[in-house]
Structure 1
Amino acid sequence: MPGTIPDLNTAEQHQDHMTIAGIGAVTGYGWGREALWEGLLSGKHAARPYPGYGPERDRHGWVARVPEGGDPDAGPALYGRAVLESVREAVADARARGWQPGRTVGLLHAIVLGNVYEWRDFYVVDHGQRRSRDYLRLLPSTPNAMIMREFGFHGPAMNATAACSSANVALLTAQMWLAQGVADDVIVVASDLSATPDMVQPFVAVGAAVDDDEPLSACRPFQQGSRGFGFGEASTAFVVTREVARPYAAVLGGAMTNDGYHVISVEPSHEQIFECVRRALSNADVRPEEVAYLNSHGSGTQQCDDAETALLAKIFDDRPQVIATKPLTGHCQAASAGVEVAATALGYDRGLVVSSPIVAAAHPRLVDGTTPYNGGITVKTALGMGGNNSALVLGPVA
C-alpha cells in the first residue's frame, strides 16, 4: 500500500547495488569506528576549544580536530596517518565480515584541501624548502600510493573532488566502477584535516561557520537559533563490493547535479536539489513514500535548512524522519558525508538511529538523539559549495 515501507532484507531487487563490507573511521572523537559510534551515542559534541582563532587570532575556537595518534611508522604527518589508519581498519573489518579481495581492487579518495597542516608548515616553518621525500607527503597522490602499495592492490586509483559533496560522489563513482566492471571491489576513503585558524576564519567571515561557541549551541540544523556549522576533521573509509557474507548496508543508487548558480549561494528555487533526489530515487528504483529517513546534509546554515526543509516537503511530503549529526561531529568538509554514511551503516548493523539532541524548537520530523531503528530506506544528501548536490539511497541487507 502507498506509504508502507517495504522489507528490504534482500538487496537483490536492485541489480546494480553495492554493499558496504567494511568501515574505518578517525574523527574528532578519536581513532576507530567505535570511538565515533560511542561519541555519537553519548550525544556530546567532539569539539574542544583551541587557541589562535578569531580574526585577530586572540581567542579560543571550538573545532572537532582529530587528536594525535596512529602508527608512527606511517610517517610524521597526522593527515597521512589518519588516512592510512582508516583504510586499514576498513579492510580488516571487511575481511572479518567475509570479504575476499577480487582480482582488481580500486581506490577512490574523496578530498578537497588535503594535507593542510603540512602545507602550512611548508611555507611558514620551512619557507618553501624541503628535501624531496618530505615534500612528497604534501601531494594528494601520495596517500593513495601508500594505500595501494601496503595492500598490493592494482586497480584504478584516483581522487574525487566535489566540495562537501565529495564523499557521496566517491561512493557513487565506486558504484559505477562496480557496475561497469572497472573494478571488482573499491576502497573509498574520504578525508579532511583542515580545521586550522587560517582555514576556519574565511568560512566564519562569509557567515557559514561558527567557532566562538559550543557546537550544540551554535549549530542547530532544522531548529531555531542556528548560526551555522562548526568545523570538524575526519578520515572515513569503506570497502565496497557486490556482496559479502555480513554487509553493513546496500548502496541502492544515487545521483549528482549542480546548481550552475553561484560559488557559495544555493540556487533559491532548489530545483536542482530536488532533481538530484528524484534522479537518485529513480536510479535506485525506490519511491519517495518508501523512504523512512533523510540523513540530511544538515549544516545548520539558513540556506541549507531552507533547501532541505523544502526538499522534505516537496519530494517526501514530510514523511521521513530527519537525521542531523554535524552538531556532534562537526562539518568535516570532504569527509562529512563519509562520517554520516558510516553512522547510518553502523546504525543498521546495531539497530539504532543516531542524531544530535534537539536543543530548541525544531522541525517535527527531526530525530532527537538516539532512537531504535525500525527498518526502511535512508536517503543521504550532501550539498557542497559551488552548487554540488548529491544523494545516496541506502538500504539494509540481511
Structure 2
Amino acid sequence: MNTSLAHISGVGAVTGYGWGTGALWDGLASGKAAATLHHDFTRPGANPVWLAKVPSGGNELDGTSRFGRALRGAGREAIEDALARGWQPGRTVGLLHAVVLGDVEEWRSFYLHDGGKRRVRDYLTLMPSTPMSLLMQEFGFHGPAMAVSAMCASGNAGLITAKMWLDTGFVDDVVFVATDLSATPENVEHFVKLGVGVVDVEPQDACRPFQTGSRGFPAGEAAAAFVLSARPAGAYGAVLGGSMSHDAYHATSIDPDLTQVRRCFEDALSDAGVQAEQVRYLNAHGPGTAQCDAAEAVMLETVLNSHAQVYSVKPLTGHCQGAASAVETAAAVLGFERGMVPAAPHVSQAHPLLLDGLTTAEPGLTVKSSLGMGGHNSVVVLAPA
C-alpha cells in the first residue's frame, strides 16, 4: 500500500469541443456530443461521418501540425493553470507523454503528398519527441522526458507512472500530456471494420454505455494535460493510487473470466489504501461495446459492491484512443472543482447505477478504469481536494 499523494495542480485540454478546459467542461455540461458531420472525410461519393475531431486553432508559433499544437497547447494550459493556482516548480520537473500512434496526419502527408521527402527541419516535426522537447524548452524544465504507451489505457499508465516518479523522489513535479489526433480515414475505417467504431449515426444514438441498444463508440481526438506534484498547493484533487495488469489473452477481446480485470481493480484500491465503500463514482472506460460494458458492470457490482454509481463520457467526447482515459480523467477532475459529475444523459433503458446527465457530486472517491485493446487493464483512484 502506498499512501502518498500525487496532487493534480493544473489541467489542460484540447478536444472535439474546442481548445481549452472551458470548452471541454461547457461541452460536457451541455450533454451534447462533440462530434460533427464531416462530408469530405472519406472517398468521393461516400456518406459523411460523425467525428469528434479537434478543430483548427492553437498557437501558430507551435507549428503547422495539429498534433504538435494540441500537445503543446494542452501542456501549456495545464502549466499556466497550475502556476495561477499557486504551484511553484521544483528543481526537477519531468515530462511524461502518453502516445500510441503519434502524428499520423503528418506521416500521412509525408508519404502521400511529399513523396517521402522533406527538409530536415520539417521532417523532425514528425517525431513525437519534437513537441515534447519544445515544451521543455519553453518552460526551462530539465527533468526526465519520455513517452508511455498502453493503447486506450495510456492515460492511466501515464498517471500511474507520474505517481511512481513522485513517490520515489525521482522528480519534484511531473507534467503529463496524453495526445491522440488519429481520426484519419484509414484509422476510422478499420475500427468500423472491427465492428466497434460507429460513425454513420449521431454518437449518442450509437454509443450507449450500460444501456440497451449500444453499438460501439464514435471516433474522437484529444490532448489532455496535468501538472502533478507532491505539494498540495491549489490542487483540484489527487491520484491516491492505481494498478495495471494484462489479460495475455487476445489482440482485441477481454478474457471472459475477468481474472486480471478484477485483480487490477482490487490492487488499485489496495495501492490507494482505501476500501470499496469509499468509492462513490466509477468513471468507466465505457465504450459502449458489449464486452467492455459487461466487464465493468461486473466490477461495479462485485469489487465495488454496488456502492458506487457509474458514468462514461465517451458518448460526448468520442473514443479518443491513446488520450481517452486522460481526457476522461480531466472531465472528472474539472468536476471536482465544480461539485458536479459530467455524466452523459440516458437515451435508453439503463443499468440502475448509471448516472443520467450532469449530476451534483456527493462525497467520495472516483475510480477511473480503462480497458485498452490487447488486454491492457488499468485503474486509477482519484480523490477531490
- Give TM-score, length-normalised by structure 2: 0.98
Q: Does 1:223 align with 2:211?
A: yes
Equivalent residue runs for 1:369-388 within 5 Å = 369-388=357-376
Where 1:21 maps in the other structure, the secondary structure is strand
Q: Does 1:255 align with 2:239?
A: no
| Matched residue type, 2:34 | A
The aligned residue for residue 257 of structure 2 is 269
Bigger CA drift: 49-58 or 169-178?
A: 49-58
Where 2:147 maps in the other structure, the secondary structure is strand
Q: Does 1:181 align with 2:169?
A: yes
The aligned residue for residue 4 of structure 1 is none
Q: Does 1:125 align with 2:113?
A: yes
Q: Does 1:162 align with 2:150?
A: yes
Counterpart contact for 1:52–1:59, Cα < 8 Å: no
User: Offset at 1:55?
Assistant: 8.1
User: Offset at 1:329?
Assistant: 0.3
User: Offset at 1:117?
Assistant: 0.8
| Matched residue type, 1:95 | L
> In structure 2, do the counterparts of structure 1 residues 57 and 138 end up closer, same or farther at CA, with 3 Å as the change threshold?
farther
Where 1:382 maps in the other structure, the secondary structure is strand
Identify which of 76, 80, 84 aligns with 1:88: 76
Counterpart contact for 1:165–1:384, Cα < 8 Å: yes
User: Offset at 1:51?
Assistant: 2.5
User: Offset at 1:185?
Assistant: 0.1
Distance 2:126 2:204 in 1: 34
Identify which of 86, 92, 102 aligns with 2:90: 102
Unmatched tracts of structure 2, length 5 or more: none
Distance 1:118 1:76 in 2: 10
| Matched residue type, 1:391 | V
| Matched residue type, 2:73 | E
The aligned residue for residue 63 of structure 1 is 51
Distance 2:168 2:214 in 1: 43
The aligned residue for residue 355 of structure 1 is 343
Equivalent residue runs for 1:1-398 within 5 Å = 15-52=3-40, 58-397=46-385
Where 2:142 maps in the other structure, the secondary structure is coil
Counterpart contact for 1:98–1:244, Cα < 8 Å: no
Distance 1:109 1:301 in 2: 27
| Matched residue type, 2:180 | D
Counterpart contact for 2:3–2:272, Cα < 8 Å: no
Counterpart contact for 1:53–1:59, Cα < 8 Å: no
> In structure 2, do the counterparts of structure 1 residues 265 and 56 end up closer, same or farther at CA, with 3 Å as the change threshold?
farther
Unmatched tracts of structure 1, length 5 or more: 1-12
| Matched residue type, 2:137 | R
Where 2:352 maps in the other structure, the secondary structure is coil
| Matched residue type, 2:67 | Y
Where 1:138 maps in the other structure, the secondary structure is coil
User: Offset at 1:15?
Assistant: 3.2
In percent, how many aligned pairs have the same letter? 54
Counterpart contact for 1:84–1:147, Cα < 8 Å: yes
Over aligned residue pairs, what C-alpha RMSD do you find? Answer: 1.3
Distance 2:217 2:247 in 1: 21
User: Offset at 1:316?
Assistant: 1.4
Where 2:125 maps in the other structure, the secondary structure is helix
User: 4+ residue runs of structure 1 moved beyond 6 angstroms?
Assistant: 54-57
Counterpart contact for 1:51–1:59, Cα < 8 Å: yes
User: Offset at 1:244?
Assistant: 2.9
Distance 1:310 1:209 in 2: 23
> In structure 2, do the counterparts of structure 1 residues 202 and 56 end up closer, same or farther at CA, with 3 Å as the change threshold?
farther
| Matched residue type, 1:194 | S
User: Offset at 1:56?
Assistant: 7.7
| Matched residue type, 1:199 | N
- Give TM-score, length-normalised by structure 1: 0.95
Instruction: Number of aligned residue pairs: give it.
Output: 385
Distance 2:107 2:329 in 1: 29
